[in-house]
Amino acid sequence: MARITVERDVGVETRDGTELATDVYRPDDDGTHPALLLRSPYGKSHVGETMFRPVEAAEHGYAVVVQDIRGRLNSEGDWEPFVNEREDGYDAVEWTAEQDWCDGNVGVVGTSYLGVTAMSAVVADPPHLECALVGFTAGDLHDGWVYSGGAFELGFNLMFGTNLSWDALGKADLSSEDIGAAKRALMAAASDPEAAAETLPLTDIPLFDSGVAPYWQEWLDHPSYDDYWEGIDLAASADSVDVPVLHVTGWYDVFARGEFDLYDAIASEATDEARANQHLVVGPWDHEAPMSITMSKVGDREFGPRAVSGPAILNSEAFEWLDAWLVEGEAPDIPGVRYFDVGAESWETADAWPPDPDSTAWYLDSGGAANSRHGDGRLVETPGEGPPDSYEYDPADPVPSRGGRTLMASIQDGGITDQSGVEERDDVLVYTSPRLTEPLTVAGPVTSTLYVASSAPDTDFTAKLVDVDPDGYCANVAEGIKRARYRESETEPTFMEPGETVEVPVELGHVAHTFEPGHRVRLEVSSSNFPKYDRNCNVETTPAVADAEEMQVATQQVFHDADHPSRLSLPVVE
């Protein structure tokens, strides 16, 4: 085994004089080596728990630079999530390239928030950056990390803020009394996250009213896509991407949509070289797969050895990619896209994503009683003729989250979970196709277009794609939400006139799933998915600051006729 040397807490000075604590792992010799940069908010000593192990990379011949980002752990400065990562990433790449142990070739690597720091360096375009490997992350940090479809990603952000607040206490500019109160709030949130999620208004959650995580309030103050979000939108800066990028994600990752948004933005806006050398790997994984917590299991479904994730597997793919660009200096001979078909349980390849699907519409129809799985809702091939369906959405009794693309440790598990219990509720409309006589393979973005009316000026509409097994197991494939005030624009909210029929698009994200013969395609429609998303109180007040006294029950209608063709659009491939 090759000998390596490790330097701890090297001070790397940024352009404004802030010193960032950095560890360097490198071969124990006098030579120069290509370098890899990882920048983390979770502690530089813990990056080996993700899909990439610095020690193994150093043994492989790389110099590996691992840095605590600004304001976190041993680094100086104040931490504002996402805000300083471009400039600091640029400076870290160039510092690395200047060291006497580096040959001038630098790559950036990272998953989750480390993926944000890696992509931030990419869009900053430092001259010595040669390639990037990013995974399980997002580019548009408004719609894909903090919000989705205008709804606040409550479950994930509550967990994210709780976990990162513990070690922020030591740097918080608070009195000892306030520090004590913050610790009590943290303990309360950790011991009873369900109670924290149910707090109204969200601004009163004790943890985030403690001063430890001021960014929580900042996020809630900016529900619309505005200058704050535009300034940190990595996907919007894809025209500055000039290096090859390998994306890795999972179908049940909380940031799955964000990774595809990055891929799409680079494919359409980046330089010719970046577009030609972009690659994508998608497995049947959730957000914890690259940390070896759920390597081949996602919710109830175990996919076995052919779908194993984690450092032991992903490291080998990472080295193949990195060696090509940083050592050999030429494109690797790998497919443009390698993805796992969840329904067929098989790996497939394509030149690009999506693999040339045809959009096929399934139209909603019923006799006006699609409520619950016992109702008469159906999916048909031509626009329906039945009367509208209706239900009462009560934010005091929201539809509970069950599995899906989420990360809500201690609150709800993500992944594939039987939805039949949720479908017992009368506030869930259920539309089901006939049993399939041949396989139906979908690969690409799934959308639902709903023609709706509400008694409220603002409300939410949710959609969930489900694969119904012959034995009755209802496996969630994808889900989405749209806050009605953002149905026309993410920047300018438009309220509804009570009783007015409007079109509401709901994006369910990308999928690769084969519905096998004997199975049925199902679409669930409702108005909540809690606590994955925050509750809409059905009033004009911004949901984050609405309190329980403002809650009102909304009467919702879903129309499905020739003039209002509510539908599910599936990207079908042969």
Helix (H, G, I), strand (E, B) or coil at 256: helix
Domain containing residue 217: 158-228
In a domain, 517, yes or no: yes
**391 and 483, same domain (yes or no):** yes
Considering only CA atoms, give the Rg of the chain.
24
Instruction: Count Cα neighbours of 184 within 13 Å in the Cβ-side half-sphere.
Output: 8
Count up the domains in the chain and report the number. Answer: 3
Measure the N-to-C terminal CA separation of the chain; round to a whole number of Å: 48
237 shares its domain with 307: yes
Same domain, 365 and 336: no
Residues 40, 75, 112, 366: which is the catalytic one? 112
Per-residue pLDDT, 314 = 64
pLDDT band at 187 (very low <50, low <70, confident <90, very high): confident
Same domain, 101 and 27: yes
Read off the CATH number of the domain in which 427 is found: 2.60.120.260
Say if residue 189 is in the same domain as residue 277: no
**CA atoms of 502 and 199, how far apart (whole Å):** 31
Amino acid making up residue 358: D
pLDDT at 210: 64
133 and 282 share a domain? yes
Q: What confidence score (pLDDT) does residue 50 get?
A: 64
237, 315: one domain: yes
**Per annotation, catalytic residue among 33, 247, 279, 287:** 287
Does residue 551 sit in the same domain as residue 428?
Answer: yes
Q: Is residue 91 part of a domain?
A: yes
Q: Which two tokens stand for residue 337?
A: 């896209």
The DSSP H or E segment spanning 181 is: helix 176-191
Q: Decide which of 300, 328, 350 is a domain's last residue.
A: 350
Does 23 score more than 90 pLDDT?
Answer: yes
Residue 330 and residue 423 in one domain: no
The domain that contains 284 carries what CATH number?
3.40.50.1820
Neighbour tally for 93: CB within 10 Å: 26
Query: Domain ends where: 293, 315, 350?
Result: 350
Q: Could you confirm whether 569 is annotated as catalytic?
A: no
pLDDT at 14 over 90: yes
Predicted confidence (pLDDT) per residue in 479-509, tens digit? 999 999 999 999 999 999 999 999 999 999 9
Q: Work out the pLDDT band at 165, boundaries 50, 70, 90.
A: confident
Domain match, 165 and 271 both = no
Element (H, E) at 286: strand 279-286
Tokens of 352: 């690009």
**Is there a single domain that holds both residue 407 and residue 525?**
yes
Catalytic choice (68, 88, 91, 253): 253
- Quote the CA–CA distance of 310 and 313 in Å, as a whole number: 6
pLDDT at res. 292: 61
Boundary-marking domain end, from 350, 373, 390: 350
Give the predicted TM-score (pTM) of the model.
0.95
pLDDT at 229 over 90: yes
Residue 564 among the catalytic residues: no
Give residue 94's pLDDT: 98
* pLDDT(132) > 70: yes
Give the model's pLDDT for residue 51. Answer: 67
- Is residue 395's pLDDT more than 90? yes
151 in a domain, yes or no?
A: no
Is residue 112 among the annotated active site residues? yes
* pLDDT higher than threshold 90 for residue 340: yes
- Report the chain's mean pLDDT, rounded to a whole number: 92
Does a structural domain hold residue 422?
yes
Do residue 376 and residue 506 come from a single domain? yes
As given in the structure block, the two tokens for residue 419 are 């939805």
